[in-house]
Amino acid sequence: MNLSTTRGALLLIVFAGLATLAPAGVARGQDGYDHPHHRHQKYNQVRHMGLHGHEEGGQFVIYSVRPNSPAAQAGLYAGDRIYRIDGDRVRSIEQFCDEIREAREDGEDYVEIEFFRYGNLYRANVPL
């Protein structure tokens, strides 16, 4: 085995090892990203609506919307920043999920979501 073959084999082994590393309890989403929040049952509220996102600067930022989902039908897009849900300021994914759960428990048919898109504030009624 010559030096270039050895280097290639070593790089392949290192790369293969890094590709499989993930912290304990982290689920890999269909989009290929690791989502620690997927291990929490309460986050099913967000997935049911067709949203995937993350917290950034005290906001819930959407990074993907499943086609034909309630969120897509309401007009939400990747990059939208959730500001309020039913008039309550949203500062985390957990809070967003709690608001949706409470609306469902109260028998609501939809939630009103206020969100920023390119610096403009919009509203959408998202079916539950």
pLDDT, one tens digit for every residue, the chain (128 residues): 544 444 433 333 333 333 333 333 334 444 444 455 444 455 555 677 888 888 888 888 998 999 999 999 999 999 999 999 999 999 888 888 889 889 989 999 999 999 999 999 999 999 98
Note whether residue 102 is domain-resident: yes
Cβ pair 64, 72 in contact under 8 A = no
| Contacts with 66 (C-beta within 8 Å, 6 or more apart), sequence order | 50, 51, 52, 72
Does 55 fall in a domain? yes
Which residue is it, tokens 């539950």? 128
5 in a structural domain:
no
- CATH code, 92: 2.30.42.10
Would residue 81 count as lying in a domain? yes
CA dist list (Å): 53 to 57, 69, 80: 13, 15, 10
68-71: Cβ within 8 A, 24+ apart: 70/126, 70/127, 70/128, 71/126
Residue 44 is predicted with a pLDDT of 55
Determine, yes or no, domain membership for 9.
no
Host domain of residue 85? 36-127
Residue 82 lies in a domain: yes
Query: What total number of domains does the chain contain?
Result: 1
**The pLDDT value given to residue 45:** 57
CB 71 within 8 A of CB 89: no
Whether 64 is covered by a domain: the verdict is yes
Domain membership flag for residue 103: yes
